[in-house]
Amino acid sequence: MTTIQQLRGLKLQGSSPYLAKDQAKSDRATCFIGRGSSRSSTHRYMLAWGELANKSEYTSEDIVFISSEGARSERLQANFAEIRRACLAKARIITDVQSDRERPYNVGEREVALFLINECCYHEPRPGQWISRG
């Protein structure tokens, strides 16, 4: 298993004004779930994470950074099947905090939060950090 210490050198690429907050989430994760159109930050993050992106198999030891594309043309919806697999394994999840999710552009991040609550029975005991209720 790849450890957080081994991933410390992973640097996300892009020019978004939100890159720093996403890098902070990435720095705490052991793997990544996300897909996005070719122009999106989510797509670049998926490429940066390589084989640890959308890896299909998760454990309760995983800390999963999820990114979901915002409101743009040709937007790809979040990979809910992959998120469900992580939830079934009771992996810990890292997303945007509520104040970032509430920005009008972040439709994908809001969809992920609702999915975690309604479909995975997860809750957010600390901002942007999700765990299973069960």
Calpha distance 9→27 (Å, rounded)? 9
List the structure tokens of 63.
């800390």
Calpha distance 33→110 (Å, rounded)? 15
Using DSSP, how many helices (H) and how many strands (E) does the chain show?
6, 5
Calpha distance 30→10 (Å, rounded)? 11
64-114 tens-digit pLDDT = 999 999 898 899 999 999 999 999 999 999 999 999 999 999 999 999 999
Q: What is the pLDDT of residue 5?
A: 47
Higher pLDDT, 3 or 68: 68
Domain range summary for the chain, segments of one domain joined by +: 17-132
Calpha distance 4→8 (Å, rounded)? 6
Give the pairing of strands 92-94 and 122-126.
unpaired
Q: What is the pLDDT of residue 14?
A: 77
CB-count burial class (<10 Å; 0-12, 13-18, 19+) for 57: exposed
Calpha distance 81→104 (Å, rounded)? 25
Nearest Cα to 111, choosing from 35, 21, 20? Answer: 35
Enter the pTM of the model.
0.91
13-60 tens-digit pLDDT = 877 888 889 899 999 999 999 999 998 999 999 999 999 999 999 999
- Does pLDDT of 4 surpass 60? no
CA angle 49–116–103, rounded 5-degree value:
75
